[in-house]
Amino acid sequence: MGYLEDRIGFLQERIQRIEQNPDPAKLKSTRLIYEAELELRQSQVEAWRNGKAFAEGPGPMYALLRAVGFEIVDSVRAADRIPAEQVPKYFDAVRALGFPDTFCDRTILRLPLIFGDNDLPKPSIMLNPYGACELGSTSANVIAHQLGVPCFTIDVPSDDDYKKHLGYITRQIEEFIRFAEATVPGTRFDEGKLVEFQELESRWYKGNHHLYELKKSIPCPLHPQDSFRQHTYPCTFPNPAKAVEYIESYTDELRARVKEGYSPLGEEKLRILWTISGPFGSKKIWNLFVEKGVAIPYTLFGGSGRVHGTRFPPIGDITEFGRKLTPIEELAKIVSYNSWGGTANRWIEEALFICREVKVDAIVNYNLLGCTPTMSLSKLLAEAAERELGIPSVSVVGRELDYSASDEQGMLEQLSAFIDRCIDQKGLSKKRR
C-alpha cells in the first residue's frame, strides 16, 4: 500500500503543521479538506485489507457508485497527487507497460498506480462515461481490458445540443445499476442513499456557485494558486458531509475577505482567465502572479461550468429541463454537458461568458501536452476573445506532473512579458465588454 501509506503520512504531517503553526495568511478551511482526504485514504486502506469491492469512475458518478455499495478508488486524483520526486518512476512504469508517455499525465500515470500491486486497490468494476476526455475514458478502457475488470461504458454524445440526450444517458445509467448488481456480489442499489448523497451534493454545488459569485468581486479574494484548485466531489470521501462543510467554510472565509476588500495580492492590477490545466505543485507561476498583482478569478476546465453553476443550475433545479428530474436523471444531467465534450463553439461560448461575468482583462491558455480534447481550442478562443471582447490571450505549453517536458523559465518569461504588456494596455482597449 505504498502510495496510500505515503499519502497518509503526508496528510498527517500537513495537518499537524497547520495545528502547530497556523499561517494567518492562509485559509483555515484548508485543514478540513486535508482531513477529508486523510479519512479517504485511511478508509481505502482498511477496505482494501478487508477485501471490499472498489469501483473506478469519474467524480460526478461517485454518489451512484457509493449508493450501489462500492468503495471508491480514484486513480486519476491519486495520479494528480504523486510527489514530484516520484513522477519519473511512474513514467518509467508507463513505458515499461508498453503505453505511450506523451499524452495527458494524469490519465496515463493512473495506469501504473492501478496495475502495480502496492499502490492502489484494483477495482471490481469500472464505470466509464465516454464523452469529453477521451484519454481518461481510453485509459479506463485499458484498465478494464488489461485487468479483466467488468467495465460499463456510458456513451455521451458530443452533440452541442446536449439536452436532447438526457433520456439516452439516463437509460444507460439505469442499465449500469443492473449490470453492477449482476456482476459484483453483495452490491445493491439504494435509491434512498443516492437521494441523501444528492442532497449533500446540492449543497456542495450551491457552495461552489457562491464561490463563483465571490470570484466576480474586485479585488478577487483568491490567491492565484487557490484559484487553480479543483474542488473534489463530496462522494469521493467516505464522509461526504466533510466536503460540504469545507466548501461552505471556504466560501465563508472568502466572503469575509470580500467584505473587507482584501486581496492576497495587495493591489490587483490585472484579472485573467486561466484555462485548461496547469503545472501541479509548481509555485513559481503563482508567485510571479502575486508579484505582478495578477488575480485569477476563474480557472476554466471541462467540468467547471457544471461545478460552479456558471450557467447551469445545481441538483434539484427544474429550469434547465423544464421539470423536476429523477435522481438518475440528475446524474445524467451532470454527465451530459462538459465544455470539452462538444464542438469548439461550446468551449468558446462558455469562456466568453465567464470573461464577461468575471470581468477578465486577459486569457492565459495552458496547453497541456498531449491533451486531445483541448487541441486547437486556445487559438480559436484567442481569436474569438480578441474579436468579440478585445481581450488579449497568450498560450503556454506544459505538462501537469512532468516538469522535465517543459521550459519553466521560458514560460515564466513569456507570462511576465504578457502580463506587463496587458497592464500597460489596460484601459486602452477599443472594445470593452
Partner 1 sequence: MSRSGLLPNLLRIAFSGCEVDGYAWAYEWKRRGGKVAGVLTPCVPVELLWAAGFLPWRVMGAKRRAVPISLALDYRPVRSCVKDTEILELVLSGELDFLDALISTDWDNDVKRLWDVWTSVRKVDLAYLLSVPRISRDYACEQLCRGFAELMSALETAAGVKITEEDLRRGIRLYNSIRSSIQQLYELRKRDNPPLLGAQCLEITLSGMVMPPQEFLNELSTLLRKLEGPETSPPRAAPRLLVSADWLDDSGFLKVIEDLGCLVAMDDLDTGSRFYWGQVNESPDGPLMDLARYYLQRPQCPRNVDWTGQVRQIREWVSEFRIDGVLELVLVCSPMRAFRSPYLKEMLSAAGVPFLSIEREYQLANVGQIRSRVEAFLEMIGK
Q: How far is the CB of 3 from partner 1 (least distance, A)?
A: 22
Instruction: Kindly state the smallest distance separating residue 350's Cβ from partner 1, in Å.
Output: 14
Q: How far is the CB of 160 from partner 1 (least distance, A)?
A: 9
Identity of the residue, 61 or 63, whose beta carbon is nearer to partner 1 in the bound complex: 61
CB of 68 to partner 1, least distance (A): 20
Q: Which is nearer to partner 1, 6 or 386 (CB)?
A: 386
Q: How far is the CB of 274 from partner 1 (least distance, A)?
A: 18
* Shortest reach from residue 271's CB to partner 1, in Å: 27
Q: Which is nearer to partner 1, 221 or 373 (CB)?
A: 373
Task: Say how far residue 81 (Cα) sits from the centre of its chain.
Answer: 13
Rank residues 165 and 308 by Cβ distance to partner 1 and give the closer one. 165
Residue 130 or 353 with smaller CB distance to partner 1: 130
Is the Cβ of residue 129 or residue 240 nearer to partner 1 in the bound state? 129
CA angle 246, 399, 45 (to 5 degrees): 45
Toward partner 1, which CB reaches closer, 237 or 340? 340
> Distance (Å, rounded) from C-alpha 423 to C-alpha 292?
9
Q: How far is the CB of 115 from partner 1 (least distance, A)?
A: 10
Nearest distance from C-beta of residue 346 to partner 1, angstroms: 10
State the minimum distance, in angstroms, from the CB of residue 174 to partner 1: 11
Residue 168 CA to residue 95 CA, distance in Å, equals 38
Cβ proximity to partner 1: between 258 and 364 the closer is 364
The contact set with partner 1 (CB under 8 A) reads 97-100, 102-103, 128, 130, 134-135, 137-139, 141-142, 145-146, 151, 153, 155, 157-159, 165, 168, 171-172, 175, 343-345, 367, 369-370, 372-373, 375-377, 379-380, 383, 397
Q: Which is nearer to partner 1, 102 or 326 (CB)?
A: 102
- Residues 294/415, Cβ–Cβ less than 8 Å: no
